[in-house]
Structure 1
Amino acid sequence: MDPVRNEALVAWMEEHGHSSNSLAEAVNTALERLTGRPGGHDGSSVRSWKSGRVRWPNSATRKALETVSGLPATALGFVPRGRAQSAPAPEQEDDMKRRTLVGGIAAAAAAAAAAPGPAPRRIGMSDVDRLQHRFAEIIASDHRHGGQLGIEQRAAALADEALNLQNSGSATQRVRNSLYACAASFRSSAMWAAIDGRRYDDAKAHMREAQALAEMSGDQAIKFRIWSHAGAMYRHMGRPADALAANDVARNLHITRRDPLFASLGLARQAAIHGAAQDRNATRRAYDQAQDAMERADAEAHRPVWLLAFYDQAELDSLALSAHLALGNYPTAEFHAHRCLANLRPHMVRSRAITTTRLAHAQLAQGDAEAATATAMKVPATAATHHARVSRMLQEFGAALRATAPGSAPAHTWTEHTASWRTSA
């Protein structure tokens, strides 16, 4: 008999913006959380589920699918083996035993609830609002300082606090989903702080945790943030193929079709990745599409605080600056740097330091050592000495300055300037 397509799974994947590869990744992450070992599924595994070739995955995979979707396997269209037989299959017997056990636990819980005693705490949206306020504080701290271990640790601790709240009382499903979204948001901020501080192993650990939490929340916006951060992480690590793959997961989520601003951010980061991969045509095309999507976005639409706090024309120019600097298009890079700096909001302290440093590189590459040195000297000492990305870029600037203009007045000025950082540290 020909396999019957699993329309329920296909519909769920479309509703939640999953490709075969992204669902396989989410299931593998859930399997690792459940079993301690990473799963081995890929896109072909999911296609087998969708086509009906595999009608009843193994128990661990089913549990992972249920964790990811929040639905029982049967609601996802999977059919237990031997369902038509009169006698229940062993796996069905196990399910019956589990239901009996769960029913017994529920009855005991109901009896306990009827007995006199303190009422259980009710977790509500006010608890979620409190966590979201703390999240806004993390976002603000990141834009001021960026990359600091303290920000990473605070964000990770708040993710744990959101998860602990799940177990501290009763709540509606809406509240529980919101708590998972909060936990995923904090983990994604811990991930970004680790990326910004070049602590990539820590960033990957936060990423895996954030991805699992985001799946349990069902929140498309936070899924986008996590996968978009993953693309940026791999770009900074010099792995453009992985960066494109991760960023594609973000760009293929339904939210990018509903809101052009999300589409614009995905395309802008795609342009930066193409620049790192030395693909000039793709860089130009992605940037033009990002600019067009930004101009189509409704400025009054409701959006998450993390997106509103940083993504605007200045950030689009910042990503274009990164792309053209990597491509060696130094005059174009300088143009985007000046436009970014002119539009940066005051709270974007970290972004201003990064953009100023990149501008100095673009000027030096065009042979203007004096202007480049003057630009680099505008970077605050705190960013130059305490922000890992800025520190590294300034070290590279100094090396390039000494190589292109050895013994010059700008080189001497830069040496004296950096010496003052060491004495003040």
Structure 2
Amino acid sequence: MGANVILRGRMDELGLTQDELARQMNVALEEIGRRPGDVSARTVRNLLNGSTRRPIGRTCAALEAVFGCPAADLGFVPPRTAVRAEDPVHRRTFLVAATGTAVAAAAPPRLTRLGQADADRFHLEYTELLRDDARLGGAGKIENKAIELASRIQSSLAGDGASDRVRRQMYRLASEATCLAAFAAIDASAPRRARSHLDKALPLAGLARDGEAMYRVWDHLMLTSSQRENHAEAAAGAEVMKRSSTARRDPLYASLGHMRYANALARLHQPTESLRAMSAAEKAFGRADGEQPSAWISFYNRAEFDALSSYVWTALGEHERAESCLHRTLVAIPDDMVRNKALYTAHLSLAQARQGEAELAAGTGRRAYEMLLPASGSRRTTRTIAVTRQVIEATGTKAPEVVSWIEESRRWI
């Protein structure tokens, strides 16, 4: 009798402790049989140390459901009689992660040939998540759903039943879904978690042999570097973006690369080079041919261009210019982009505060917070409001309306 190193390895891959695996098995059993499971940490310990070599009944069903594979593939002796739980589709996908980050258990390889209809179905799920992200921002459920979608797409590719064209589409979708999870983490001000997602997205984009997918990974890597205040690394990432084949082919991508570069250079205290990069971004943006952009880059419209310009002016200390850009953004931004409206309203509040307009900034900050939907996880927005409050407090103002807002905003953040 020996320890089950295969099961231990699978648990380590998913970051599962004994207690967490027991909990997930109980969740699986409740989903399967509509009644609570009774798996304990002791049960899992016996599975790991070799005391239980042939799990049977509900224990076997729960293991297979959580890990998405037969018990034999987990290092166990197969049961003498295959036991199925009440639900014939018990080997479903479950979210399993000890840290709260969702990781989808792999589904069994599908036997039917993958086709364009499958790619279209996954793409529809992805675009729905994009819309949810535009409304809610860095909500945990957006991040988790995106990870789960990417995992299902990859699982569907486990067999050989797909043309090269369809396989490349699916790898691109898996990369884009993983990037969406990363951006949700960025909006939640969790750059390390975002970086972990992007480490997975990069090889998927490579397998897709898709320059736009690769560009998006580099864009998000640049943002994580910026959030960690590593502006030299952010500038290097923006260099990759603006020199990519995608940017050379499409001026919209070129413009975004130059704009990201301008932002990083401004924070590296290189104003001349930053303004030169922003001018290049403006020229490239003007060359964009007006064709329908892909789902992701479509966010980069005139409203977004002005918003990103405001970040550069802010970093250069030109707060009046930043405010002017943000006013243009808020007039033009589509109503369904709720998260961005709130974020840029918060930045408008900060620009006003830095110009000494304490009462105006307080009112704008209140509007920004009220725009956020209850389920929003956009910590970028709430942190910007917190910085606004610090700027206003530093003025020592005693205006009743401002003092009231300061106290009120402490309860938000």
Query: Is this a same-fold pair by TM over 0.5?
Result: yes
Out of 305, 328, 350, the residue aligned to residue 295 of structure 2 is 305
Q: Which residue of 2 aligns with 1:32?
A: none
Shift of 1:421: 4.7
Q: What runs of 5+ residues in structure 1 fail to find an aligned partner?
A: 1-35, 37-118
Preserved CA contact (<8 Å) 1:324 1:330: yes
Greater share of residues in helix? 1
> Which letter does structure 1 place at the counterpart of 2:154?
L
Out of 142, 160, 182, the residue aligned to residue 151 of structure 1 is 142
Out of 95, 117, 128, the residue aligned to residue 126 of structure 1 is 117
> Matches of residues 391-402 of structure 1 in structure 2 within 5 Å?
391-402=382-393
1-structure distance, mates of 2:401, 2:349: 12
Q: Which residue of 1 aligns with 2:59?
A: none
> Once the two structures are aligned, what percentage of the paired residues are identical?
31
2-structure distance, mates of 1:177, 1:346: 34
TM-score for both structures, normalised by structure 1: 0.68
> Matches of residues 7-406 of structure 1 in structure 2 within 5 Å?
120-168=111-159, 170-300=161-291, 302-308=292-298, 310-381=299-370, 383=372, 386-406=377-397
Runs of 4+ aligned structure 1 residues displaced above 6 Å come to none
Shift of 1:337: 0.9
Q: What runs of 5+ residues in structure 2 fail to find an aligned partner?
A: 1-12, 14-109
2-structure distance, mates of 1:190, 1:416: 34
Three-state SS of the structure 2 residue aligned to 1:342 is helix
> Which letter does structure 2 place at the counterpart of 1:337?
L
1-structure distance, mates of 2:304, 2:264: 15
Shift of 1:298: 0.9
TM-score for both structures, normalised by structure 2: 0.70
Preserved CA contact (<8 Å) 1:121 1:169: no
2-structure distance, mates of 1:224, 1:147: 21
1-structure distance, mates of 2:338, 2:260: 20
Deviates more, 1:156-165 or 1:399-408: 399-408
Shift of 1:125: 1.1
Shift of 1:413: 2.9
Shift of 1:144: 0.7
> Matches of residues 401-412 of structure 1 in structure 2 within 5 Å?
401-412=392-403
Preserved CA contact (<8 Å) 1:405 1:411: no
Shift of 1:121: 1.0
Three-state SS of the structure 2 residue aligned to 1:379 is helix
> Which letter does structure 1 place at the counterpart of 2:249?
R
1-structure distance, mates of 2:146, 2:372: 21
Shift of 1:168: 4.8
> Which letter does structure 1 place at the counterpart of 2:330?
L
Shift of 1:407: 2.3
Preserved CA contact (<8 Å) 1:147 1:195: yes
**Count of equivalent residues:** 303
Preserved CA contact (<8 Å) 1:152 1:194: yes
2-structure distance, mates of 1:263, 1:185: 19
Preserved CA contact (<8 Å) 2:303 2:328: yes
1-structure distance, mates of 2:404, 2:159: 60
CA RMSD for the aligned pairs?
A: 2.0
Preserved CA contact (<8 Å) 2:369 2:382: no
